[in-house]
């Protein structure tokens, strides 16, 4: 049952990483068009930076967190990580993953409350483009929720924990 949950979470992580990659590409194109527009037409694309910062950047950061965690891509001390194998590694995961999951659950709950508030009050951004704020908060909830699940699944002993899986196996483009 846990293995089925792990497979499902891994599939969702992969899809979230694809969405994050697409958001990064869109952000890159939007900034390129905005810069070109300012240089050649002396006018910027209205709301480009606002949209990039309030939606696209959030998608890039939060939707890629769990995938990065699964692949061992977050910053770590290599000398310490190589020493933390076997039972020491499992104990270290319990000492770090449980508090991290707890703190992330607080972040997720706060953003969930803000999303519901924004949805109920029909809150919109205050810049040139008046788009709803609730989806941005929901992106944070989805990303942190996936990371919480990944952290908790990595508390299992053994190779099934999904720690340090080679990047080639996690490439969202290849669909592995």
50-109 pLDDT, tens digit per residue, is 888 888 999 999 999 999 988 877 666 665 666 666 677 778 778 888 999 999 999 999
Q: For residue 4, count other CB atoms closer than 10 A to its CB.
A: 8
How many domains, the chain? 1
pLDDT of 159 over the 60 cut: no
Where residue 86 falls (left for φ over 0; alpha for ψ -120 to 50; beta otherwise) is left
What's the confidence (pLDDT) of residue 103? 97
Q: For residue 1, count other CB atoms closer than 10 A to its CB.
A: 5
The listed range with the strongest mean pLDDT (2-11, 67-76, 149-158) is 2-11
Is 167 a domain residue? no
Is 41 a domain residue? yes
What's the confidence (pLDDT) of residue 163? 54
What's the confidence (pLDDT) of residue 166? 46
**Mean of pLDDT values over 123-141:** 89
The C-alpha atoms of residue 71 and residue 77 are separated, in whole angstroms, by: 15
What's the confidence (pLDDT) of residue 78? 60
Is 31 a domain residue? yes
Is 19 a domain residue? yes
Is 145 a domain residue? yes
Please report, rounded to a whole number, the percentage of residues in the chain having pLDDT higher than 70.
82
DSSP string across 44-78: PPTTHHHHIIIIIHHHHHHHTHHHHHHTT-S---H
Is 157 a domain residue? yes
More confident residue, 124 or 146: 146
Query: Taking all residues of the chain, what is their mean pLDDT, rounded to a whole number?
Result: 85
Is 174 a domain residue? no
Q: Which domain holds residue 106?
A: 2-161
Indicate yes or no: pTM above 0.85: no
The C-alpha atoms of residue 74 and residue 59 are separated, in whole angstroms, by: 17
**Mean of pLDDT values over 118-138:** 89
Are the beta carbons of 150 and 69 closer than 8 angstroms?
Answer: yes
């Amino acid at each position: 049952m846990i293995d089925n949950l792990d497979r499902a979470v891994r599939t969702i992580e992969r899809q979230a990483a694809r969405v994050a990659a697409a958001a990064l590409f869109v952000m890159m194109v939007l900034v390129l068009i905005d810069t070109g527009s300012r240089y050649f037409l002396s006018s910027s694309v209205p709301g480009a930076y606002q949209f990039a910062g309030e939606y696209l950047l959030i998608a890039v950061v939060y939707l890629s967190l769990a995938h990065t965690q699964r692949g061992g891509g977050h910053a770590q001390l290599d000398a310490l990580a190589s020493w933390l194998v076997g039972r020491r590694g499992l104990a270290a995961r319990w000492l770090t993953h449980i508090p991290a999951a707890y703190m992330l659950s607080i972040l997720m709950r706060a953003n969930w409350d803000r999303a519901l508030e924004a949805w109920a009050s029909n809150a919109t951004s205050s810049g040139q483009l008046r788009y709803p704020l609730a989806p941005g908060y929901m992106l944070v909830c989805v990303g942190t929720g996936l990371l919480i699940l990944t952290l908790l699944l990595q508390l299992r002993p053994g190779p099934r924990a999904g720690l340090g899986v080679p990047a080639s196996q996690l490439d969202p483009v290849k669909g592995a």
